[in-house]
């Protein structure tokens, strides 16, 4: 038996590099689309009317992301989605 594989069955480093480059291109494309969507939503919500620093916006976006992150967690991750009362009042002051 020959240990040499046929060229059609063998994946070369060049092929893998091409696939990686294509995935990077797709990733950049998806990030650009997401950025455009979030930018449109931020403007529609009125965030363009204020003079806030990038750090202030990053902090506000982090708070929004934290609010939605539990709902996005996979069912088997051990993270519970908040109850409607907790989601409406995360500080638990109700």
Question: What pLDDT was estimated at residue 85?
Answer: 47
pLDDT of residue 31: 98
Residue 90 reports pLDDT greater than 90 = no
* 8 Å CB contact between 58 and 68: no
Do the domain assignments include residue 6? Answer: no
pLDDT at residue 3 in the model: 54
Residue 62 lies in a domain: yes
Higher pLDDT: 32 or 73? It is: 32
| pLDDT of 74 | 57
The total of structural domains in the chain comes to 1
User: The domain containing residue 53 runs over which residues?
Assistant: 13-75+83-88
Model confidence at 40: pLDDT above 90:
yes
**Residue 70, C-beta contacts closer than 8 angstroms, at least 6 positions apart:** 79, 80, 81, 82
Rounded Cα distance, 90 and 30, in Å: 32
Burial 44-80 (b: 16+ CB within 10 A, else e): eeeeeeeeeeeeeeeeeeeeeeeeeeeeeeeeeeeee
Mean per-residue pLDDT over the chain, rounded = 78
CB atoms within 10 A of CB 94: 7
DSSP secondary structure code for residue 9 in this structure = T
2 domain-assigned: no
Q: Is the pLDDT of residue 17 over 90?
A: yes
Confidence at residue 10, expressed as pLDDT on a 0 to 100 scale: 72
Q: Is residue 60 part of a domain?
A: yes
Is the model's pLDDT at 77 over the cut of 90? no
């Amino acid at each position: 038996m020959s240990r040499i594989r046929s060229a059609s069955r063998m994946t070369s480093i060049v092929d893998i590099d091409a696939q990686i480059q294509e995935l990077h291109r797709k990733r950049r494309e998806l990030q650009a689309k997401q950025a455009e969507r979030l930018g449109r939503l931020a403007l529609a919500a009125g965030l363009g009317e204020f003079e806030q620093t990038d750090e202030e916006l990053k902090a506000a976006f982090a708070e929004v992301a934290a609010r939605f992150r539990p709902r996005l967690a996979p069912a088997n991750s051990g993270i519970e989605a908040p109850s409607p009362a907790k989601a409406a009042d995360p500080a638990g002051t109700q």
